[in-house]
Amino acid sequence: MTVLSGLLSQLLPGDTQADRVVPPSGFTATLTLFTAAAMAFLAVFALALSLATGRLADSWSNELARTATVRISAPEGQMAAQTEAALRVLETTTGVARARALDDAEQAALLEPWFGPDLPLDQLPIPRLIEVTETEEGFDTQGLRLRLAAEVPGAVLDDHTRWRKPLVQAASRLRLLGWLSLALIGAAMAAMITLAAQAALAANAQVITVLRLVGAQDDFIARAFVRRFAVRGLGGAAIGTVLGCLAILALPSARIEGGFLTGLGFQGWHWLLPLLIPPLAGLVAFAATRAAARRRLEKMP
């Protein structure tokens, strides 16, 4: 809060006298602007990645956690009887909200991506699938497995845990990576701006000596540099954020067929989040320059 109020007090009213006494900083101005713009551009993508993977993890976790499949493999004459038996077991199992055997058309649709249309299901030993929807409380997987094994020998229960867990884990890790990238982008920007500020301070050593000679306090001298770099950080980040958002807008819209990549964007109020990047970049530039200026000034007489 103190840093924020310091930033606002030094940026909003401006200090034309402090600005005037420090000469234009040449290449450091361009460097700061470019760094802030590039980092903000990357930050928009890292943010989009984090949010998209977050959505993906939630969706996989929610959708798959409440469903299971019972697969029935039985000789042709026993398929219908075993399916009926399995459905009876499921209907009397606590925690099962709904159990429904997929019909031939639905099974054919599932296999169509691999075998193409017009698959003669009746001529192939395809197992029958039963889609199971759980209640909020869920069912006892182990208990159901034992009952099915006793009453329907050809039934195999798949509660999706086996492949849901690594997917959700991968999505969660990706989300974490996105946030980590954001933190690294912030740190890299702070480092670059510190270097640029140090270069500007070193280039203006003579100016600082003269200012100290005529009675300037460190705050006055630091303010001239801090304001300059914070404003450039803010401006550069605003440019980078706008470009990053335009690039995100230019991505193909989210489609199921496109999978994860087409969902890499912002949805709803998440579009407001990139607006935080420029003020945060300004804050990073402010803190980095202030620290660099303080260190430098303390070494001077």
* Nearest approach, Cβ of residue 214 and another protein (Å): 4
> Is residue 206 near another protein by the rule CB under 8 A?
yes
* Encoded tokens for 175: 């989300």
Distance, CA of 10 to CA of 210 (rounded, Å): 22
Of the candidate spans 102-110, 154-162, 169-177, 293-301, the one that interacts with another protein by CB under 8 A turns out to be 293-301
Sites for another protein among residues 10-49 (CB under 8 A): 17, 20-21, 23-24
Q: Which of 29, 65, 203, 207 binds another protein (CB under 8 A)?
A: 207
Closer residue to another protein, CB minimum distance, 12 or 214: 214
* Nearest approach, Cβ of residue 16 and another protein (Å): 9
Greatest CA separation found in the chain? 103
The amino acid at residue 278 is P
The amino acid at residue 185 is I
Distance, CA of 103 to CA of 91 (rounded, Å): 18
Q: What is the DSSP letter of 136?
A: S
DSSP lists the bridge partners of residue 157 as 70
Which of 124, 129, 148, 131 is CA-nearest to residue 76?
Answer: 124
Closer residue to another protein, CB minimum distance, 128 or 296: 296
Three-state secondary structure call for residue 155:
strand
Of the candidate spans 3-11, 56-64, 205-213, 281-289, the one that interacts with another protein by CB under 8 A turns out to be 205-213
Three-state secondary structure call for residue 259:
coil
Distance, CA of 71 to CA of 110 (rounded, Å): 14
Distance, CA of 228 to CA of 24 (rounded, Å): 9
Of the candidate spans 32-40, 92-100, 137-145, 203-211, the one that interacts with another protein by CB under 8 A turns out to be 203-211
* Nearest approach, Cβ of residue 233 and another protein (Å): 23
Show the binding pattern over residues 138-157: x = contacts another protein (CB under 8 A), - = does not: --------------------
Sites for another protein among residues 209-238 (CB under 8 A): 209-218, 220
Closer residue to another protein, CB minimum distance, 77 or 215: 215
- Residues in contact with another protein by the rule CB under 8 A: 17, 20-21, 23-24, 206-207, 209-218, 220, 297-298, 301
